[in-house]
Amino acid sequence: MKQFFRIFIPILLLLLLGYAAYHIWNQEKTVKKNEKLTAQYKQQLEDEQLDKERLARDLNEYADQNLILRDSVKILRRQVAGLRKQLSEKVETIAQNEARINSMRSKMSGLENEIATLRNRPTTTTADANKLKELENQRFALDKQIGDLFMKNQELEQENSQLVVQLVEKEKKRDAVQGELDKTKNELAGATGEGEYSVEGSEGILVNINAIEAEFGRVEALTKKGKPARSTRKWQDTEIQFDLIYPNIDNLSNQNFSLQLIDEDTGEALSPRESNKGAFDAKGVEFAFTGNPVKVKFVNYQDKQNMGTNYTARLFFIDATGKEIPLASAVAPVVFKR
């Protein structure tokens, strides 16, 4: 028996020392892992703060640009209206002068007939000579008036030509500034989620992002066997069903979307993948809208024991360039069995 204890006790001590060493090593590993997670979380918080500051700067910049461009458009519109008024007034004056010239020419024709009649008489009396002189003076004065009006119309025509050039330039500038204003309005709407935010989707169709809503009927976490999951530990599938709501729902037909599951604690997307297919780069399940209701099965066999428990389903619109744009009114929490 003594010999047994002499052998057993050293072995037991070695086992205890080994367990203690393993326990210390495991604790150190846990501490390092926690430190790494803490550093990552701290970095994420810093990144989120930078994003918020950047968004605030962008909003202020868009708002300032919007005010400047709006004032510029108002000024240009007034200038265009002023030029059009001047052009209209000059055209009207030219028309009035043309009417006066035609009237004077008719009167001139009458004077010339009278003058010709007097000159063609066989004998001319003193009265005829005086009358002829008077008619000649009237014709001369009338001819001068016609010439003055003609020259005036020539000047007005030249001024009108210059006004037309100015008007075309002002209208081009106005349209360009209006385009910039519409662009900043669109960017501001995209940043704030308020107002019309139009982007080009598939087939060149413009879609107002801020008008798209999703009414979720089901966002349920399931186990591998398809039963409701109580926690993330056994969560492997997610069944999602929703209806898209839009003023003209036909315009969303064949438009592309991405449904993503987001860990709200970290802001990271949970990649949809099967156990033997590593689609690690995919952020969500992409689909083309063909009508309501929309049903999506989100498969993910990733170990979630050390992951967060606060998940949401978020819908993104995919524009013509492939950019994913989040839809503010298309978010729902992932539901676990209670």
* Lookup: tokens for 47: 């990144």
Residues 306, 177: Cα–Cα separation, whole Å: 53
* pLDDT greater at residue 110 or residue 124: 110
> Average pLDDT in the 111-130 region?
82
Residues 255, 235: Cα–Cα separation, whole Å: 30
pLDDT tens per residue, range 51-103? 555 655 666 676 667 677 777 777 878 888 888 888 888 889 888 988 998 98
Give the DSSP H or E segment for 182. Answer: helix 126-192
pLDDT attached to residue 52: 53
pLDDT attached to residue 289: 95
* pLDDT greater at residue 36 or residue 262: 262
pLDDT attached to residue 246: 92
The mean pLDDT value of the chain amounts to 78
pLDDT tens per residue, range 125-163? 888 788 888 888 888 888 888 888 889 888 888 888 888
Give, in order, the Cα–Cα distances in Å from 143 to each of 67, 116, 154: 57, 17, 16
pLDDT attached to residue 275: 42
pLDDT attached to residue 243: 94
Is residue 261 a contact partner of residue 270, using CB atoms and an 8 Å limit?
A: yes
CATH fold of 200-333: Immunoglobulin-like (2.60.40)
pLDDT attached to residue 279: 45
pLDDT tens per residue, range 283-319? 889 999 999 999 998 887 776 666 666 889 999 999 9
Could you tell me what percentage of the chain is helix, strand and coil, using 3-state DSSP and rounding each to the nearest 5?
Answer: 60, 20, 20
Q: Which residues of 158-168 are buried (b: 16+ CB within 10 A; e: fewer)?
A: eebeebeeebe
pLDDT attached to residue 77: 80
Q: Hey, how many other C-beta atoms are within 10 angstroms of the C-beta on 108? A: 17
CATH number of 1-195: 1.10.287.620
Name the DSSP letter for residue 305.
T
Domain regions of the chain by residue span: 1-195, 200-333
Give the least confident one: 14-28, 46-60, 194-208: 46-60
pLDDT-based confidence at residue 198 (cuts at 50, 70, 90):
confident
pLDDT attached to residue 226: 85
* pLDDT greater at residue 86 or residue 184: 86
Does 281 score more than 60 pLDDT? no
pLDDT attached to residue 255: 94
pLDDT-based confidence at residue 323 (cuts at 50, 70, 90):
confident
